[in-house]
Amino acid sequence: MKIDLSEMGRKIRAIRGRLSLEEFEPIAGISKSMLSLYERGEAWPKPDVLSKIAEFGKISFDELLTGKEPGPGPEPTTVPDESIKEPSFPADTAKVNVYSMAGAGMPHTLTDYEPIETITLPARFIRPNIVPIRIRGRSMEPMIFNGAYVGVDKEDRQLVSGEVYAVWLPYEGAVVKRLYMAADRIIVKSDNPSFPELSIPINQVDENFIIGRVKWVLQEIEREG
């Protein structure tokens, strides 16, 4: 049976109707962020969630699943298409684009323009304001390894001393560093002691210096070599 996630998402959105995502949460039994992914056809809904939505919309489970209305009689027997395989990742996940950090030539921005790859993330990691980034370099080891993925929240730019942020540095571009607030300056530190710290007087800090706060890190705990 071939399933069109986009068509299923349109059906779910139609069933929700005038209800907001928040109002539909208790009906479907999932978060509004997960509902949004389902409606955009970017994640596979769980069967129990589909059953609740179908019951609320007064349609059959199969109609919601396939987008086809029940016919007048039994459907003809067909040979399963072995080329159609469901994904092996859990339903509460979705694929997202990953970007590399912008170089010094870019105008105070976080990423290059085009994504470099896609990865599958838990739905709770995915927010419109969080940008997945691939880390290049060892300045934040041992907390963040070279090649790790981090989520940068571009709406969280308030400085909390000791936290990790994506910041803009002249001649480097966008980088991930740990920030500390002193009386008259901001201290920019790498977790790797091999890299020198940078001290910037408060009156020289550009309003676009902090690009966003790092909210999650995805990497292997143990690495070969």
Domain count for the chain, please give it: 2
Q: Which residue has the tokens 């143990």?
A: 222
pTM here is 0.59
Q: Say whether both 10 and 117 belong to one domain.
A: no
* Cα separation, 143 vs 139, whole angstroms: 10
Q: What percent of the chain has pLDDT over 70?
A: 82
Q: Of the segments 69-83, 91-105, 184-198, which one has the largest average pLDDT value?
A: 184-198
In sequence order, what DSSP letters do the residues of 85-104 get, joined into one string?
A: ---SS-TTEEEEEEEEBP-T
Domain membership of residue 125 as a residue range:
93-218
Distance in angstroms (rounded) separating the CA atoms of residues 29 and 200: 48
State which amino acid sits at residue 148: A
Residue 47, helix vs strand vs coil: helix
Q: Decide which of 190 and 220 is more confident.
A: 190
Residue 35: which CATH number?
Answer: 1.10.260.40
My answer on whether 40 and 106 are in the same domain is no
Task: Say if residue 142 is preceded by a cis peptide, omega within 30 of 0.
Answer: yes
pLDDT at 33: 83
120 token code pair: 């599958």
Query: What's the chain's average pLDDT?
Result: 81
Structural tokens at position 175: 């980088």
Mean pLDDT value across residues 32-58: 82
148, pLDDT greater than 90: yes
Query: What is the model's pLDDT at position 212?
Result: 93
40 and 133 co-located in one domain: no
The per-residue pLDDT for range 46-63, each reduced to its tens digit, is 777 888 888 888 888 778
- 99 and 166 together in one domain: yes
pLDDT surpasses 90 at 139: yes
